[in-house]
Amino acid sequence: MFSIAYRRAIKARCKRQDVEYSDHIEQPGLCEGDAERAVEAGRAQDRIRTALGKLPADQEAVIRLAYFEGLSYRTISAIMECPPETVKTRMFHARRKLKAALGGILSDWL
């Protein structure tokens, strides 16, 4: 199922269509005093979402599959039909680009 979803996402991105993807992290039970932290977390999520959108499709896919879906490199390599070493290389380059784009907030997320 992930293979089908991955290929459809790649095709949609290549066609420049907007594909809705929810990577919102729920924060249950916020108190009034936590409003400022919630706003800051929302800003960080927006920056991360923007930075992910600027990655090449294959690098964005490995980040989303690993961090948002919790999949192993072997599973990702099966989905993307490439060797696990290729997944590791894509992850390395994606993290490096995210670090440059996000600056100080990257350590909070990766």
Predicted local confidence at residue 21, as pLDDT: 47
**Residue 89 is assigned to a structural domain of this protein:** yes
**Residue 29 is assigned to a structural domain of this protein:** no
**Residue 11 is assigned to a structural domain of this protein:** no
**Residue 63 is assigned to a structural domain of this protein:** yes
Predicted local confidence at residue 73, as pLDDT: 94
The angle subtended at Cα 82 by Cα 47 and Cα 69, nearest 5°, is 40
Domain that holds residue 80: 49-102
Residue 15's pLDDT band, with cuts at 50, 70 and 90, is: low
**Residue 75 is assigned to a structural domain of this protein:** yes
pLDDT mean over 43-60: 87
Query: Which carries the bigger pLDDT value, residue 19 or residue 68?
Result: 68
**Residue 42 is assigned to a structural domain of this protein:** no
Predicted local confidence at residue 81, as pLDDT: 92
Residue 84's pLDDT band, with cuts at 50, 70 and 90, is: very high
pLDDT of 51 above 80: yes
State the Rg of the chain over Cα.
15
Which tens digits make up the pLDDT trace of 32-42?
556 677 777 77
Measure the CA–CA gap between 36 and 2, rounded to whole angstroms: 36
